[in-house]
Amino acid sequence: MGRIFEKIINSSNGFFITGTGTDVGKTYFSAILLKYTKGLYFKPIQTGTSDITSVKEMTKLNENHFSNALYHFKDPVSPNIAAERESRGIEIDKINLPDSREHRLLIVEGAGGVYTPLSNKHFMIDLIQKFSLPVVIVTEDVLGTLNHTLLTYKALVEKGCKIAFIVLNKYKPAGYNFRCLNEIINKPILRLPYYNNFPSADGTKGVINESI
């Protein structure tokens, strides 16, 4: 089944990586996708420790593959609160995609889930809708995954967003989440097991093809 993801990735100019919540593996999968495609990584809104630093450390790619965040707030909290604490505001109209014409793929990583507040009026899903990139939903193979993934999927569909595929991070072969999501959602689901070490350049192809 892995060849399906290779075809999806090769036929697109970019993806918006969102998740069912915080710490489900968005940054990790973004790094895998970046290493695999040698594309351009962009996280427009960041709170707390910089994910761009983590992606650089994992991929070992040079600065040419990274576009700096437009908003970076010190506190690791919801963007609307982090901005408020610094007496700033997030203006969604001023957030635009970087020039990625020199790269194979643009990888945009969101902050938190689709309804993470950017202000009292705007949410991460509004930025997803504005960018109009195919969406990759990252979720973790744990209890609660079915509810969180289905809610995220439904919210994106209702906003008219195109969903490319779903990533089931820390996949457990003995679990039931993969089977149930396959039966309920008609979208490809990439099984991403836990790896002790970040995959090599050749290894990322095996990850995408589900062959390692």
Count of C-beta atoms within a 10 Å radius of residue 42: 22
- What own/partner pairs with CB < 8 Å and gap ≥ 24 does 188-191 have? 188/1, 188/4, 188/5, 188/8, 189/165, 190/2, 190/5, 190/165, 190/166
Distance CA 91, CA 17 (A): 20
Token pair for residue 170? 């820390």
- Residues with a known catalytic role: 43
Closest among 87, 83, 110 to 15, alpha carbons compared = 110
> Using only C-alpha atoms, what is the Rg of the chain?
16
CB proximity list for 211: less than 8 A, separation 6 or greater = 2
**If you search the block for the tokens 């689901």, which residue do you land on?**
189
